[in-house]
Homo-oligomer: A and B are copies of this chain.
Amino acid sequence: MTVTTTGPDPEDLTARARIRDAAMRHFGEQGFERATIRGIAETAGVSSGLVRHHFGSKQALREACDAYLARMIRRLNDEVRSGEALRKGNPVATAQAAMGPYQRYLARALAEGSAESVFDEMVELSEQWLADADETRPDVPDVDRKARATVGTAMALAVAVLHTHVSRGLGVDLYSPEGDLLLARTLIDIYSHPMLSIEDAAEVRAALDRIQAEQTKTDRGATLRRLEEHHHD
């Protein structure tokens, strides 16, 4: 297997850090449930008891990993916030970039519902980028900036979370240089072309208004289905 986390020589890291790194790798590659404390201890080169000594429990170990990632993201966030390279550029790419070796862990954690603060931090970052982008936007958005930032962040993370399926669909491993390039090209193409025309959007939005006016209680499926019907008549 190729080494994914090549920090500053894990040999001279403190045992606690080595355990944390090993945990992030195991959690990222096998998921929280499937990963074992013994396995983590082994790749960290320590006894399983030491893991418990330092982190208390498996759940606490996971939270420590989340906190570490959150700290790292926050640092990156502040960096971008005050940096000169802020005004332009897709924050999505920025965010995805610096995560580097921890991307697998992040993807797993998010998929499992964990790492809330990391996601929220990314939403904030996206929100800031949207604030700039909104200035040159002709029409007025009809939803919260935070809502758009949230959904946009989720969409940006989709590729990482579903990297297995995306790799299969693309025909190349996403973590290879070729896959990397192809993904970038695809993202650029998608991000630069709206999937809905302004007119279609207005039409659908009108249908939504009608639905909302009815105020009938419906489940998500029914609502979307209704949306489709209205859109097609």
Contact = CB atoms under 8 A, between A and B. Distances in A.
Interface residues of A, number: 94
A116 B221 contact: no
A142 to B, nearest CB: 6
Which secondary structure dominates where chain A touches chain B?
A: helix
Interface stretch (A10-18, A52-60, A225-233): A225-233
Contacts of A184: 204, 208, 223-224, 227
B228 A97 contact: yes
Contacts of A50: none
Contact of A187 (B151, B169, B223): B151
Contacts of A97: 221, 224-225, 227-228
A188 B192 contact: no
Contacts of A220: 100, 103, 174-175, 177, 179-180
Number of copies: 2
A74 interface: no
Contacts of A72: none
Contacts of A149: 169
A141 interface: yes
B175 A219 contact: yes
A189 interface: yes
Contacts of A231: 88-89
Contact of A192 (B85, B119, B197): B197
A194 B190 CA distance: 8
A111 B154 CA distance: 13
Contacts of A151: 159, 166, 169-170, 183, 186-187, 190
A9 interface: no
A99 to B, nearest CB: 7
Nearest to A88: B232
A165 B116 contact: yes
Nearest to A232: B85
A174 B154 CA distance: 13
A121 to B, nearest CB: 11
